[in-house]
Amino acid sequence: MRNLLVLLLVCFLTPILSADEDTKAPEANTKASGRIEAAGTVLDEIQGAPDNRIPEEVLASAECVAVVPSLLNGGFVFGGRYGKGVASCRTPKGWSAPAFFTIGGGSFGMQIGGQATDLVMLIMNKNGMDNLLSSQFKLGADASAAAGPVGRHASADTDWKMRAEVLTYSRSRGLFAGLELSGAVIKQDKESTYEFYGRMVPFKTSLRGEIEAPKAAYPFLSTLAKWAQQAAK
């Protein structure tokens, strides 16, 4: 009789415990969350350099910002032709929930080659943003790309506003410079998206601000908001 009662109790509690597990949010300590933190660190370090960073005028004009962090001791190693990154776009309510993507193929310029390389891409206009929202596009074909200017301020004689939908930068071995990046294909990283949100979230849904950013996204979004606000002053 006692064994029968134990068996019934187990059968009764198992569905409840399983349901409770299903309702839990994704674990904070994941590779996707680690990439969020790394992206925030990369942006903070780059913009923290006095005279060797993304110019304030350029950052203030960007519709979206995408960062591919590369860590020597992590799982986000950015080789010559492949990397994983995170992006956010401006919305009426602030910077959007992050979208995860992969980038691969094409020519990554002479700056790429060190073991630790960080890539930053700024989407500068609506057409470039539309290409990003499509969740898959090719730089140089679907969206024009050019090496971005570097410094506290962009020179008045540069035509960065006119010549590219995407401005690209790289940081390798401490050197930060504009990067010629053509032929690279950007597409949604579905595995990381599911890992971070616990479900599949389309690029458009996150980058248009149609969902609220989880707390785990703050290390990147708060850093991005800080530097964008400072650039707009």
- Residue spans of the domains in the chain: they are 27-232
Condensed to tens digits (0 to 9), the pLDDT of residues 74-131 reads 333 444 457 899 999 999 999 999 999 988 765 555 444 445 678 899 998 877 788 7
Which pLDDT value is given to residue 137? 72
Give 57-66 pLDDT, tens digit per residue.
899 999 999 9
Pair of tokens at residue 3? 């064994």
Q: Give the C-alpha separation, 92 to 208, whole Å.
A: 9
* Structure confidence at residue 52 as a pLDDT band (50, 70, 90): confident
Instruction: Give the pLDDT mean for 39-61.
Output: 91
| pLDDT at residue number 151 | 82
At 184, is the pLDDT very low, low, confident or very high (cuts 50, 70, 90)?
A: confident
Averaged confidence pLDDT in the chain: 77
Structure tokens at 165: 């939908």
- pLDDT tens track for 117-130: 788 999 988 777 88
User: Ranked by mean pLDDT, which of 18-22, 123-127, 216-220 comes out on top?
Assistant: 216-220
**Helix, strand, coil fractions of the chain, as percent rounded to 5:** 35, 25, 40
Per-residue pLDDT band at 46 (split at 50, 70, 90): very high
Cβ proximity of 147 and 178 under 8 Å = yes
Span 134-158, mean pLDDT? 73
Asked whether the beta carbons of 118 and 170 are under 8 A apart, the reply is yes
Residue 190 pLDDT exceeds 60:
yes
Helices and strands, number each (H, E), in the chain: 8, 10
Task: Give residue 202's pLDDT.
Answer: 93
Q: Cα–Cα distance between 141 and 144 in angstroms, integer?
A: 7
